[in-house]
């Protein structure tokens, strides 16, 4: 396990002064919804399991205040594992030769949406490697068909970096939300984790463009990626506060042995959960998924995330035969289940930790919905 918080690594307990300073900082953060950089850093450098328990409880209370114990469900469709990008941590990046590549047609995507609709889902998250097959024209056609057949749903796209014009066309065609994790707000770490032809500035520009166009925007980052430091994680908090996204996806880095980063340790559950909690405290109304990566790292990783700041789950509705091929990291959960099985499993997990499923569209609570007619 790649521990970044030094005191967790040695499983030590703080002396009373350090512990009470961390608790005071967590209280200050809850009240003022922000801290100075050095205060965030103090927390990360000194926190132990005892204060993490306190932090998680504070985040749970803030989530409860805004969303109670409701968990929004999003039907996730992984439409293609073709990717032209070079994210060195990702098992579907263009250099990986060991996987069989697949992509879904618009008809197949529509079928997934319809089956998800019957299971009650009213948001579809359509995610993919960066695959040039999905031109604007093809996606516009797909979006129109989804919205015509199921006018009461929200569509989230997560297709990576595209031009502002392309984002605009997809928005005009009915896309409601866009997920594009910033991956890390540290330029050094971004450049270490990505191929030379990828650009830290462009990723950020994409996020600003998406916001400017009017999307509900999701950013996010991995915890425990190779060479990541607490300073890097503080940059993530500062950047997210500045960007003010509607959603933030946070998960542990999970090592994939067929990538350039093979042999590295994966991120840890405690640290990932602590980051989920901190993000809930800096962005109290944000939508925060209990990510599949958390569930893949630990059997009840997602349930633990619900017990802190998370309020979204994303059951998979991709065709079962393709799921194992969308192997961004190894030992990914839900790769052999049918969509029905995922639905039942997720509901059981949610109810098991005292939450309830909410089958509404699940917009961010500050969103006044721009209807498709207003576009």
Residue ranges in contact with ligand SAM by CB under 6 A: 89-90, 127, 129-130, 158, 160, 180-181, 183, 222, 251, 253-254, 256, 293, 328-329
Euclidean distance between CA atoms 41 and 149, whole angstroms: 49
How many Cβ atoms are within 10 Å of 256's Cβ, its own excluded? 25
Minimum CB separation of residue 158 from ligand SAM in Å reads: 5
Minimum CB separation of residue 368 from ligand SAM in Å reads: 27
Euclidean distance between CA atoms 325 and 83, whole angstroms: 13
Minimum CB separation of residue 156 from ligand SAM in Å reads: 11
Instruction: Tell me whether residue 54 or residue 94 sits nearer to ligand SAM (CB atom).
Output: 94
Q: Could you give the C-alpha distances from 351 to 73, 147, 290, 347, in angstroms and in order? A: 13, 31, 14, 6
Minimum CB separation of residue 193 from ligand SAM in Å reads: 10
Tokens of 3: 């521990």
Instruction: Tell me whether residue 48 or residue 264 sits nearer to ligand SAM (CB atom).
Output: 264
Instruction: Tell me whether residue 218 or residue 309 sits nearer to ligand SAM (CB atom).
Output: 218
Minimum CB separation of residue 318 from ligand SAM in Å reads: 13
Minimum CB separation of residue 38 from ligand SAM in Å reads: 27
Q: Could you give the C-alpha distances from 330 to 120, 190, 204, 298, in angstroms and in order? A: 29, 22, 28, 13
367-75-283-303 Cα dihedral, nearest 10 degrees: 140
Minimum CB separation of residue 161 from ligand SAM in Å reads: 7
Helices marked H in 73-186: 106-118, 136-149, 164-172
Instruction: Tell me whether residue 62 or residue 77 sits nearer to ligand SAM (CB atom).
Output: 77
Minimum CB separation of residue 274 from ligand SAM in Å reads: 17
Contacting residues for 23 by C-beta, under 8 A, at least 6 apart = 51, 54
Instruction: Tell me whether residue 45 or residue 184 sits nearer to ligand SAM (CB atom).
Output: 184
For residues 116 and 75, the answer to whether their CB atoms sit within 8 Å is yes
Nearest to 222 by CA among 263, 256, 268: 268
Residue 359: half-sphere exposure toward Cβ, Cα within 13 Å:
10
Do β-strands 356-358 and 70-73 pair in parallel, antiparallel, or remain unpaired?
A: parallel
Instruction: Tell me whether residue 82 or residue 169 sits nearer to ligand SAM (CB atom).
Output: 82
Instruction: Tell me whether residue 45 or residue 292 sits nearer to ligand SAM (CB atom).
Output: 292
Tokens of 356: 């309830």
Minimum CB separation of residue 205 from ligand SAM in Å reads: 14
Instruction: Tell me whether residue 200 or residue 253 sits nearer to ligand SAM (CB atom).
Output: 253
Nearest to 252 by CA among 288, 222, 277: 222
Altogether, the residues listed in the chain come to a count of 375
Instruction: Tell me whether residue 8 or residue 219 sits nearer to ligand SAM (CB atom).
Output: 219
What phi, psi does 173 have (nearest 5°)? -85, 0
Q: Is the dihedral angle over the CA atoms 61, 67, 73, 74 positive or is it negative?
A: negative
């Amino acid at each position: 396990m790649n521990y970044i918080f030094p005191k967790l690594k040695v499983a030590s307990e703080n002396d009373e002064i350090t512990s009470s300073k961390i608790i005071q900082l967590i209280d200050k953060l809850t009240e003022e919804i922000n801290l100075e950089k050095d205060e965030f850093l103090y927390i990360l450098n000194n926190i132990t399991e005892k204060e993490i328990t306190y932090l998680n409880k504070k985040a749970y209370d803030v989530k409860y205040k805004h969303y109670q114990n409701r968990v929004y469900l999003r039907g996730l469709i992984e439409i293609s594992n073709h990717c032209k990008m070079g994210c060195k941590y990702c098992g579907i990046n263009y250099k990986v030769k060991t996987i069989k590549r697949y992509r879904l047609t618009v008809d197949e995507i529509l079928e997934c949406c319809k089956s998800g609709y019957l299971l009650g889902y009213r948001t579809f998250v359509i995610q993919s490697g960066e695959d040039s097959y999905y031109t604007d024209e093809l996606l516009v056609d797909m979006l129109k068909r989804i919205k015509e057949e199921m006018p009461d749903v929200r569509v989230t796209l997560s297709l990576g970096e595209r031009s502002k014009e392309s984002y605009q066309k997809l928005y005009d065609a009915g896309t409601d939300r866009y997920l594009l994790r910033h991956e890390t707000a540290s330029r050094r770490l971004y450049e270490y984790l990505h191929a030379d032809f990828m650009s830290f500035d462009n990723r950020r520009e994409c996020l600003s463009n998406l916001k400017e166009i009017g999307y509900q925007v999701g950013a996010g980052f991995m915890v425990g990626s190779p060479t990541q430091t607490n300073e890097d994680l503080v940059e993530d908090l500062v950047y997210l506060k500045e960007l003010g996204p509607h959603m933030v996806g946070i998960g542990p880095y999970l090592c994939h042995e067929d990538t350039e980063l093979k042999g590295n340790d994966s991120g840890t559950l405690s640290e990932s959960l602590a980051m989920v909690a901190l993000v809930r405290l800096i962005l109290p109304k944000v939508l925060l998924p209990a990510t599949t990566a958390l569930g893949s790292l630990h059997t009840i990783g997602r349930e633990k995330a619900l017990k802190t700041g998370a309020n979204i789950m994303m059951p998979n509705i991709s065709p079962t035969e393709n799921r194992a091929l969308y192997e961004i990291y190894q030992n990914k959960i839900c790769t052999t289940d049918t969509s029905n099985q995922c639905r039942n499993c997720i509901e059981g997990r949610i109810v098991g930790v005292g939450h309830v499923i909410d089958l509404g569209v699940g917009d961010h609570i500050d969103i006044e919905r721009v209807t498709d007619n207003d576009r």
